[in-house]
Amino acid sequence: MKNLTIYHGSTKVIERPALGIGNPKNDYGLGFYCTENLELAKEWASTEKSNGFANHYALNLEGLNVLHLNTKPYHILNWLSILLKNRTFVLSQGLPMEAKGYLLNTFMPEYEHYDLIIGYRADDSYFAFANAFLNNTISLEQLRKAMMLGNLGEQVVLKSEKAFSQLTFIESIPVDSSQYYPKRMARDRQAREDFQNDKTMVAAADAIYMIDILRQNWTNDAPRL
């Protein structure tokens, strides 16, 4: 039996999380969003005006059907397609809307039947990078690298009654927003600065952009994914 230690940052103590509660417009749809990183949970629990709690749980993984989007055969466009399905993007007509339709039709994995999803978290700066890729202003390589900035790690999302039934509440750790809200803002700011200062990017003439993926009719087995 393998237990996963996870944390959920919130303004409330949540001893008994339940399926069907929360915002359906989150990255992977309706679910209970957690992290294995206590410090990140404390940052996510903090708002500008209120303290919060890092709720600590043990999740029994036995028998759970897990989708790990950061392992093969999945890739960044699978993640982006799920994000497009659930989050609200403001896209102009033309290339961005065409890109959205192509990604949803070509790269959307079946994800709703899984008990647990593990993948990137689209905080403000990361969501901005995804939007820029759709608008053809950053390359595929830049998008990949951007998702590694800021040390956000992975989020763990419970998506089924079975997953919730195997979750055990351990404790609730108080979070001082005066300490952790500035950390949250600084992490986002640092990610943007690191992206702007990255000197290792491939020259634009040699990079792959969204328009190239459309013109070349990329699929899930494209060699450069």
**Predicted confidence (pLDDT) per residue in 87-115, tens digit:** 988 888 899 999 999 999 999 999 999 99
Residue with the larger pLDDT of the pair 34 and 147 = 34
Residue with the larger pLDDT of the pair 205 and 62 = 62
Is the Cβ–Cβ distance between 184 and 146 less than 8 Å? no
Q: What residues form DSSP beta bridges with 172?
A: 55
The whole-angstrom separation of Cα 53 and Cα 201 is 39
By the 10 Å C-beta count (0-12 exposed, 13-18 middle, 19+ buried), 20 is classed as exposed
pLDDT of residue 188: 79
Query: Average pLDDT of the chain?
Result: 90
pLDDT of residue 97: 94
| Element containing residue 105 per DSSP (H, E) | helix 95-107
| Element containing residue 1 per DSSP (H, E) | none
The tokens of 80 are what? Answer: 């982006």
pLDDT of residue 201: 60
Q: Residues of the chain with pLDDT > 90: what percent?
A: 65
The tokens of 124 are what? Answer: 């403000």
pLDDT of residue 121: 82
**Predicted confidence (pLDDT) per residue in 6-39, tens digit:** 999 999 999 999 998 888 899 999 999 999 999 9
Residue 150 has pLDDT above 60, yes or no: no
Nearest to 218 by CA among 51, 43, 28, 78: 78
b/e code 104-143 from CB counts within 10 Å (16+ = b): eebbebebeebbbbbbbbbbebbbbbbbbbbbbebbbbbb
pLDDT of residue 200: 59
The whole-angstrom separation of Cα 27 and Cα 42 is 19
CA torsion sign for 207, 208, 211, 217 is positive
The whole-angstrom separation of Cα 29 and Cα 62 is 23
**Predicted confidence (pLDDT) per residue in 169-214, tens digit:** 999 999 999 999 999 888 878 877 877 777 556 556 689 999 999 9
